[in-house]
Amino acid sequence: MYKGLSSPNIHTPKNLGEYASIVLHYPMSTLWGGGTFIMTRPDAYPSKTMNAEIIYLGEVEELHRFQRNDRFAEFGAMVTLDEILSTGKTVLPKALTDNIQTIGSRLITRKATIGGTIATKGFTTSFPGTLIVLDATAEVRYMKKKRLHSRWMQITRLLDRNGRISLPSNGLISRVRIAFSEKNCHYFNEIGSFMLDPENAVAAAFTATLDQDILINPRIAFTYPLHGVCYSRDIDSIFSSLRFPLDDEEVDTLESMIFTFIESSFPDITPLQRTRTSGIMRQIIDDLNEKALTVPAEER
Amino acid sequence: MKIDCTIDGKTLTLSLNSDKPLSLILRENMGDDGAVNHCNGEMCGLCTVLVDGKAMLSCMVPAFEIRGKTVTTFDSFRRTRNMKDIEKAYESVGRYPCTECYASRSLIFESLIDEGITDPGEILKELSIVRCPCMDPEDEIMIVRRGIEIRRKRNVQRPQLA
């Protein structure tokens, strides 16, 4: 059926030292984590590239480690989303667990890895946005002068000008550190399927501390799979200047300010994505209004 | 690339393209035409197989990931005692999946029963991958719970020798 195909060479390093030597020999190789994104592309097989090299990271022991203390949880890049959910459901921030749960079946979360969801070529999953609002950091390993160097970076710093995650050439995310959040407002919503309908899907993640009627340290990120993550400190500072509850007029003004920014970053978002973004944003505002109007249990 | 694996109880050495999806391997190399669908990564859920006892979408598993693993398709699973438990659960609840999704649903039920998952949310989430609307969510939850009960009874009646 597929006569004349060349089979990609698979390299299976057992540790990061072996990975480094393979990358030195084959700098153009593709990194393979869980493979959930690569395998769902319509042109995944047969491979169009001749002499393709694949580095399968599933056997690198360092990338499967998971540790936590009272301040943060640290996951190796090859820890699957299912493992994250089963080990840290009670302690991890709600925005992250909600994000994992929106993916749906464990048939997918058992294969998808945290590193793979961040560093997906030409596509943005809903995870970088969530990790940005959670102020997560990632350890990036990269080759410099034929040696493997490592550097901890905030996920925000990995975003390029177009809102996509960009790593140094031959770079690899080896660990992701997520701090246990003390914020009292966590929100994540995804409308539309990122994998099946990326043209129209939108996700938004939001975290903040609502103290009386103002937001402290709010962070909001919108994700459009084919465009990237829309995150700006300007939007965050608009949120921190608000006093809740907001009336309709204030919500309209806030919405137009946010859309001005989104459309300047991503002018090509579809009308459906625009409508969905507006819907998610209004849901967040409604939640915050409700919280601001509710008397805390200890004050009753 | 040569790959050693066990498919439906047969230990095989296959010479394959290293990134060939398992669904295509089963279809083209094993001649398992009817049982495994190849949706080309559309996540239809109909290509489910058991890899080392866990349900997986075979269209998402490349050939190099099945090295040294045991793959069970519905073709061989339907002759096992575990499938008989699931059939008994279908019978006691009075609901059967349609012919289209019978194989994939049964394999996912097996994975859930094997892990002993009774939480309705988790059961429905795992089964949400099969988009066929032939079964009610309540029936799916009852089938899994009934299946776990039947499996437990069987294991109590026939304790395995150490």
The DSSP secondary structure of chain A, one letter per residue, reads --TTPPPPEEE--SSHHHHHHHHHH-TTPEEESS-HHHHHSTT-SS--STT-EEEEGGG-GGGG-EEE-SSEEEEETT-BHHHHHHHHTTTS-HHHHHHHHHH--HHHHTT-BHHHHHS-TT---SHHHHHHHTT-EEEEEEEETTEEEEEEEEHHHHB-TTS-B---TT-EEEEEEEEPP--SEEEEEEES-TTT-TTT-EEEEEEEEEETTEEEEEEEEEEETTTEEEE-HHHHHHHHT-BSSP-HHHHHHHHHHHHHHHHHH-TT--HHHHHHHHHHHHHHHHHHHHHHHSPPGGG-
Q: Compute the average pLDDT of residues A195-219.
A: 93
A106–B contact, CB cutoff 8 A:
yes
What is the distance, to the nearest Å, from the Cα of residue A206 to the centroid of all Cα atoms in its chain? 13
Interface predicted TM-score of the whole assembly (ipTM), two decimals: 0.86
Quick one: what percent of chain B has pLDDT higher than 90? 62
Burial zone of B9 (CB within 10 Å; 0-12 exposed, 13-18 middle, 19+ buried): exposed
pLDDT band at B33 (very low <50, low <70, confident <90, very high): low
State the pLDDT at residue B162: 46
For residues A202 and A273, the answer to whether their CB atoms sit within 8 Å is yes
Tokens standing for B93?
């609840």
pLDDT at residue B38 greater than cutoff 70: no
Distance CA A30, CA A46 (A): 15
Q: Which CATH class is domain A61-179?
A: alpha beta
pLDDT band at B160 (very low <50, low <70, confident <90, very high): low
pLDDT tens readout for residues A281-300? 999 999 999 998 886 666 66
Nearest by CB: B60 against A32, A36, A104: A36
Nearest by CB: B60 against A10, A12, A40: A40
DSSP-derived letter for residue B112 is H
B28–A contact, CB cutoff 8 A:
yes
Of all residues in chain B, the one with the smallest CA distance to A9 is: B18
Nearest CA to A187 out of A102, A96, A72 is that of A96
Kindly determine whether residue B43 and residue A108, on different chains, have CB atoms separated by under 8 Å. Answer: yes
Q: Compute the average pLDDT of residues A5-19.
A: 89
Q: Which residues of A touch B68 (CB under 8 A)?
A: none
State the pLDDT at residue A121: 85
Q: Best residue in A83, A106, A197 to probe B by mutation, most B CBs within 10 Å?
A: A106
* Residue A51 zone, left/alpha/beta (φ > 0; ψ -120 to 50; rest): left
pLDDT at residue A95 greater than cutoff 80: yes
CATH 3.30.390.50 correct for A185-295: yes
Kindly determine whether residue A56 and residue B64, on different chains, have CB atoms separated by under 8 Å. Answer: yes
pLDDT band at A111 (very low <50, low <70, confident <90, very high): very high
Kindly determine whether residue B57 and residue A46, on different chains, have CB atoms separated by under 8 Å. Answer: no
Q: Which of A52-56, A194-198, B139-143 has the highest mean pLDDT?
A: B139-143
